[in-house]
Structure 1
Amino acid sequence: MRTIDWKEIEKNIENGRFPQWLVTDPEIYELEKERIFGRTWQFLAHESELKEPGSFVTRMMVDDPIILVKNKNGEINAFLNSCSHRGVRLCTEDYGNKKAFSCPYHGWTYNLNGELIGVVAGNKVFGESMDKSEWGLRPVPRVESYQGMIFGNLDPDAMSLEDYLGEMKWYFDIMLGRSDGGMEVRGVPQRWVAKANWKMTSENFAADPYHVQTTHRSAVELKLTPSDPLYASYGHQVVLSNGHGINVITSATGRSNNIYQGMPESMWPMFEKNLNKEQLDIFSRVQNFVGGVFPNLSFLSSCSGTEGTKYNHLQFRVWRPLGPDQVEIWVWYMIDKALPEDYKEKSYKGFIATFGAAGTLEQDDTENWARIVEASQGLMARDRNLSYNNMLNYLMGLDNLDPDENFPGPGKAYPTCYTDHIARSMHKYWLELITKEPEVKSHE
């Protein structure tokens, strides 16, 4: 790897400038896989996807295939999806229910706790010396959950999930814990591959409402969104710890056109019971929550509809890197369990029409993400001497915007969503992680 002047990069990031060559550089990507995705919490599944003992889903943590399975005691285990005999990917189904997992190569079989329980020809070929208890499936080093959201971490020494989420938990409680029974995933995650870099897709959701009026101009022309060019700016952009952030978007009046995002009045007593005064205040005024948990989990709580009436939904999405210039997008649709079935179905249809590979808004975004990659791979864009003023601009709000001390929620809240405060925070945390040398552990 060529020498990288990290001090120069740090100085530029501090001043609202991000070197363009960092976006798609292959050497930087290899560092990201090890130092960022190998150390941070990554979203794997929601508990509602694993309803009964034997229920399983298969997921990815960048290049690591993972099985999550509910055992007979109702506990959820996560293992590397790889047979411990010859390393074959053990399970190829996306989801299902099994009593045990058998390898298609040599037939080794594992129970729901990952224990090796069956070896073809057993003692006849391995003798008595092989201890089956040593050859179970390899568990993900850390698996923890919050409000039904299951995360994994490849670093056994990482901080706890709750510490990592930090102030974001307060906002997750509004979105995930507002109603009795919490949330549930409807359907299965949508998945598709896009030409994009994971940093730019994560940033788009967590930090960039500024793009809405231009990128999604077709939605304005179809009268799906307001024509006011400041539409997505009203409210607060809230910078949180560890590179996380959330935009609490309201209307020009600071209120919402639909209290509690248009949820039925029958649900309001639940909100008032499960949320505190400050959370209720924000939830009653918000139009959209949009933000992200670093490095690659994004969320959007909004309203969609296809026949004039809009219905609330919550989507979580993971940007799984496939390389410096490609991502696999995973999108979970989530809705309150306590809502009437009719509302859920109409909400789901509105979501499908708006988001997903064929959604009206999704196609706008993927076009721009591809163009970022296309323009960032040439010699000029990747010139490390910066001789072409080779910087991307993150100057919005840098020296002309102060935090709103009266904002009722945690974090540092700025009184507009048209600002780059979250993006700069993401870049700083990215730099902190990628420049942190791995610890050398002694093997005594």
Structure 2
Amino acid sequence: MTYSKEQLAGLVQADRVHRAYYTDPAVFEAEMAKVFGKVWVYVGHDSLVPDPGDYYCTTLAGQPVVLSRHESGSVHVLYNRCGHRGAKVLSRTRGNARVFSCMYHGWAFRPNGELAGVPMRADFPEEALREPRAGMEPLPRVDSYRGFVFASLDPGVMPLLDFLGEARKGIDELVDRSPEGRVEFAAGCHRYHFRGNWKLQMDNMADTYHPAAAHGSTVGPDGRQFQRRAGDQGGAALFFAPNGEAVVSQLGVRGFPHGHSSEQSLFDKEQAGGVWDDYRALMVARHGEERTADILKNRRHSLTLFPTLDILIAQTSVRVVKPIAVDLTEVEIWPVRLAGAPAVISDDLVKYVNMTHSASSFIQTDDLEAFERCQEGLKAQGSDWVLVARGMGAEVDEGDGVLFGARSSEVGQRAKHYAWRDLMSA
């Protein structure tokens, strides 16, 4: 089926979305151009390419791209495609090379994409080799914010800071926790797939309603979940409130312009004890007591940037969602190292990510089961609509397009759906 702009817009109503939003291959194909082709999409962190010649291979809208660092120190995002016959140039996920060489005919490219060498060059018309497309072409727009590198396929895309808006404060909240004001992706990542649509994972990042049902098995006899943060105090939170409701289900959610969202923090006290006190002393030495106390406040459980990036502040990690097909999605989870913090804290963060968001973790496995059941269930005949009405009409307008909804409001999910609708019908 080919959808008109009006039909695509009609898949998202004020309080519900059509099941074709998740299940129709034609909708998925349209998304690659109308959503991923028009906005800023996270590519990778610049710490993945710390030295000249470093490269990191990934995808954007299903297209192979390369994050690289040139000898000048500048960071680039290139199409992973030879300018000669179109072969994929780099096949390893990460590496370092003075030039990027195509295995097919030996054409070579500098880390900024410029053509570096052509075997038997004299046999080619020189004007053909002078064209920019003879190299590994750069993406139309590339920019970064505090080490997080974004790219866009649209030359006319809005400035990155305008796209991030108030939501960028979630990145600040993570990066500011480093005594050196920078983070590093130095521990590799978990990478796995689930048989479901990518938007099911994105919806879940703004969903504080599901944990009582989906994650109830993670609660111990003392009514607390496992510890997921460093320190002797503040690491394990009570799961259920005195009224019997899950604490997380009573938390609020924010919806931002352009489809971003964030969740209130589950933790209500500052971490303390053990090596955490040593870390805090480093922060105070750099920032002073007042600024340190402000940095270490637990404001957000996570921040999600539409369409694919999730900053898991509580776990000090980053999740990346990569659509592969209408019913197949790849997820990456990257533990984040706080540069300048005691090494044991970074080691512990890897352990906590293993427990919460690896493919064999306590939390993410529940979510993946839910996503696959949703994908299967949406094939069933019945209502064509999926309800996202929780908290609708009770949102608080905080200005600049930011809406806050209490008690696990689905306002964050609606923000994503509305942004998707506006892009798909543009």
Contact 1:404–1:415, Cα closer than 8 Å, also in 2? no
Matched residue, 2:187: 187
Amino acid at match of 2:309: L
Instruction: Quote the offset at 1:158 in angstroms.
Output: 0.2
Q: Deviations over 1:330-356 (max 9, x none)?
A: 221113112101221122122223321
Instruction: Quote the offset at 1:24 in angstroms.
Output: 1.2
Change (3 A) 1:33 1:284: same
Contact 1:186–1:334, Cα closer than 8 Å, also in 2? yes
Matched residue, 2:384: 390
- What's the C-alpha RMSD, in Å, of the aligned pairs? 2.9
Contact 1:115–1:133, Cα closer than 8 Å, also in 2? no
Matched residue, 2:402: 411
Matched residue, 1:236: 252
Instruction: Quote the offset at 1:189 in angstroms.
Output: 2.7
Change (3 A) 1:276 1:49: farther
Matched residue, 2:229: none
Instruction: Quote the offset at 1:48 in angstroms.
Output: 1.2
Instruction: Quote the offset at 1:285 in angstroms.
Output: 4.2
Instruction: Quote the offset at 1:413 in angstroms.
Output: 2.6
Q: Deviations over 1:38-94 (max 9, x none)?
A: 111111111111111111111110311111111111101111000011100000011
Contact 1:58–1:68, Cα closer than 8 Å, also in 2? yes
Residue 179 of structure 2 aligns to a residue whose secondary structure is: coil
**Aligned counterpart in structure 2 of residue 258 of structure 1, from 271, 281, 289:** 271
Q: Deviations over 1:296-352 (max 9, x none)?
A: 2122122xxxxxxxxxx4221121111111101122111311210122112212222
Instruction: Quote the offset at 1:266 in angstroms.
Output: 3.7
Matched residue, 2:235: none
Matched residue, 1:439: none
Matched residue, 2:297: 284
Amino acid at match of 1:66: V
**Aligned counterpart in structure 1 of residue 416 of structure 2, from 419, 426, 431:** 426
Contact 1:259–1:285, Cα closer than 8 Å, also in 2? no
Matched residue, 2:234: none
Change (3 A) 1:339 1:117: same
Q: Deviations over 1:155-202 (max 9, x none)?
A: 110001111000112222111234332111122232122111111101
Q: What is the aligned-residue identity percentage?
A: 26
Instruction: Compute the TM-score of the two structures, normalised by the length of structure 2.
Output: 0.87
Deviates more, 1:233-242 or 1:216-225: 216-225
Alignment partner of 1:87 is 2:86: yes
Number of residue equivalences: 406
Matched residue, 1:442: none
Deviates more, 1:164-173 or 1:269-278: 269-278
Residue 332 of structure 2 aligns to a residue whose secondary structure is: strand
Instruction: Quote the offset at 1:122 in angstroms.
Output: 1.4
Take 1:11 and 1:100, find their aligned partners in 2: how far apart are those partners? 47
Matched residue, 1:66: 65
Residue 45 of structure 1 aligns to a residue whose secondary structure is: strand
**5+ long unaligned stretches in structure 2:** 227-237
Instruction: Quote the offset at 1:215 in angstroms.
Output: 0.8
Change (3 A) 1:107 1:168: same
Residue 323 of structure 2 aligns to a residue whose secondary structure is: strand
**Aligned counterpart in structure 2 of residue 301 of structure 1, from 309, 313, 328:** 313
Matched residue, 2:144: 145
Take 1:275 and 1:80, find their aligned partners in 2: how far apart are those partners? 44
Amino acid at match of 1:185: F
Matched residue, 2:368: 366
Take 1:301 and 1:342, find their aligned partners in 2: how far apart are those partners? 18
Take 1:285 and 1:106, find their aligned partners in 2: how far apart are those partners? 54
Take 2:288 and 2:46, find their aligned partners in 1: how far apart are those partners? 21
Residue 29 of structure 2 aligns to a residue whose secondary structure is: helix
Instruction: Quote the offset at 1:282 in angstroms.
Output: 8.1
Change (3 A) 1:129 1:11: closer
Take 2:248 and 2:73, find their aligned partners in 1: how far apart are those partners? 43
Residue 219 of structure 2 aligns to a residue whose secondary structure is: helix
Residue 284 of structure 1 aligns to a residue whose secondary structure is: coil
Contact 2:108–2:117, Cα closer than 8 Å, also in 1? yes
Contact 2:83–2:136, Cα closer than 8 Å, also in 1? yes
Change (3 A) 1:319 1:183: same
Contact 1:234–1:249, Cα closer than 8 Å, also in 2? no
Matched residue, 1:120: 119
Q: Deviations over 1:113-142 (max 9, x none)?
A: 21112111111x325554345411110111
Amino acid at match of 1:202: M
Contact 2:170–2:303, Cα closer than 8 Å, also in 1? no
Take 1:186 and 1:272, find their aligned partners in 2: how far apart are those partners? 25
Instruction: Compute the TM-score of the two structures, normalised by the length of structure 1.
Output: 0.84
Alignment partner of 1:318 is 2:320: yes
